[in-house]
Amino acid sequence: MSAGHSDWERSKELARTILRDRAMRRKWMGRWLMATMGWIAAGLWVIEGWLGDNVWRFLIWWGICAGLAVGLMALALYDAVAVAREERE
């Protein structure tokens, strides 16, 4: 139980660090953007036939893609608000 607890605490600290540090936040946004673009490219050109064979695969794949994009937009909005707050201070 204590190992899981310490993992949870480390994860929370990492999240706090990413959200509070502008450079770290932007680095993670770049990684997230590359992953999202790779996911889109793979769905459009690499496995398009496989996705087209089954409606559930198609919906799950593009649902995950939409989730990645929405998450990225949320992080970008958070970044914009954080930068504005930092500049005001």
**Is the pLDDT higher at 47 or at 6?**
47
Q: Are 68 and 32 in contact (CB under 8 A)?
A: yes
What are the structural domain ranges in the chain? 2-88
User: How far apart (Å, rounded) are the C-alpha atoms in residues 70 and 36?
Assistant: 10
pLDDT, tens only, 22-58: 888 899 999 999 999 999 999 999 999 999 999 999 9
Q: Are 50 and 57 in contact (CB under 8 A)?
A: yes
**Cβ neighbour number for residue 25 with a 10 Å cutoff:** 19
